[in-house]
Amino acid sequence: MNTDSFDIHTSDYLPNGAQILQREYTERGWVMLCKWHGYQPYVTWRVDDAGNAYWGTYRRELIDAATDFQTKLEELTGRQHRTLGDLIMGH
pLDDT of 70 above 70: yes
User: In sequence order, what DSSP letters do the residues of 17-85 get, joined into one string?
Assistant: SPEEEEEEEETTEEEEEEE-SSSS-EEEEEE-TT--EEEEEEESSHHHHHHHHHHHHHHHHSS----HH
Global pTM value:
0.81
Residue 17 has, within 13 A of its CA and on its CB side, a CA count of: 4
Q: What percent of the chain has pLDDT over 70?
A: 82
Q: Which residues of 49-67 are buried (b: 16+ CB within 10 A; e: fewer)?
A: eebebeeeebbeebeebbe
Label residue 34 by pLDDT band (50, 70, 90): very high
